[in-house]
Amino acid sequence: MKRFKDGSFDTIITSPPYNIGKMHSNNLQFGTYANNDMKEEDYQKWQTEILNECYRILEDGGSMFYNHKVRIKKGVATHPLEWILKSDFILKQEIVWDMGKSANCDKIRFFPFSERIYWLVKNPKTKLYNENKLSDVWRVVPTHKRKEEGHIAVMPDEIVENIVDALPNVKKVYDPFGGSGTTLKVCKSRNIHCEISEIDINLKSTIEKKAREEKILLRLVSKQVY
């Protein structure tokens, strides 16, 4: 992100690695990806630094939408607000993403079916236009298959669609954790300029595959993501 000038984008949409180690569904493990198994203190510091860089490259009236979740490790819940509120951003709204299912249906607790999407801004007067009359709870059930997508946790198109459809003046979008390319795909479908970065080199082929399917022209700018 260092290569971007201050105020380069009007919108940032992203979902970083959650730092939960190997992804699993009860007793089944699906692997992991880059920066997903850090010491928690280092992870939170890193995420705060990422958020502050996003703050720098976001224009003054822009919006960032940051997807994360309440993680439970060793019986203790850790909330994303623990580091979000340490960043330079103003928290505008918390949106609950009701996924309708969970990879961890353990009867020792209520099943964690939700994630969060945080609307972050630089100016408290920043507004969106909720033309689709959405509430702050979005029920979007993921339907992707890991092997087909080439990614462990794919963000559904509908999440990004809900966001960009509420931003009538969106022109230039950035996703610092491009993942499988969902943000890129949705922006292309709406003729919105989009740039992405991805820290995991193993996802390069996944992004390129989606770009071919959606007829998106990719241009590799730098191998150094952060």
Specify the 3-state DSSP secondary structure of 65.
Answer: strand
List, in order, residues 6 or more apart from 226 with CB less than 8 Å away: 1, 2, 50, 176, 197, 199
- Note the pLDDT tens digit of each residue in 113-137: 999 999 999 999 999 999 999 999 9
The DSSP string of 70-130 is -EEETTEEE-THHHHTTSS-EEEEEEEEE-S--S---TTS----EEEEEEEESSTT-----
157: Cβ contacts below 8 Å, ≥ 6 apart: 182, 185, 186
Phi, psi of 23 (to 5 degrees): -70, 140
Question: How would you list the strands of the sheet with 90-98, edge to edge?
Answer: 137-139, 90-98, 114-121, 58-68, 9-14, 172-175, 193-196
Contact 17, 202 (CB under 8 A): no
Mean pLDDT, range 139-155, rounded to an integer: 69
The tens digit of pLDDT for each residue in 155-178 reads 899 999 999 999 999 999 999 998
For residue 219, the model assigns a pLDDT of 57
Reading the block at residue 2, the tokens are 């260092």
3-state secondary structure of 29: strand
Whole-number pLDDT of residue 26: 40
Q: What is the pLDDT of residue 225?
A: 40
In the prediction, which pLDDT does 226 show?
34
| Greatest Cα-to-Cα distance within the chain, rounded to the nearest angstrom | 49
SS3 (DSSP) at 203: helix
pLDDT digits (tens, 9 = 90+) for 73-119: 888 999 999 999 999 999 999 999 999 987 777 888 899 899 999 99
Q: Quote the mean pLDDT of the chain.
A: 84
For the chain, percent of residues with pLDDT exceeding 90: 58
What local confidence, expressed as pLDDT, does residue 118 receive? 98
pLDDT in tens, 19-53: 976 554 444 344 444 556 789 999 999 999 999 99
Tell me what pLDDT residue 215 has: 59
The predicted model scores a pTM of 0.85
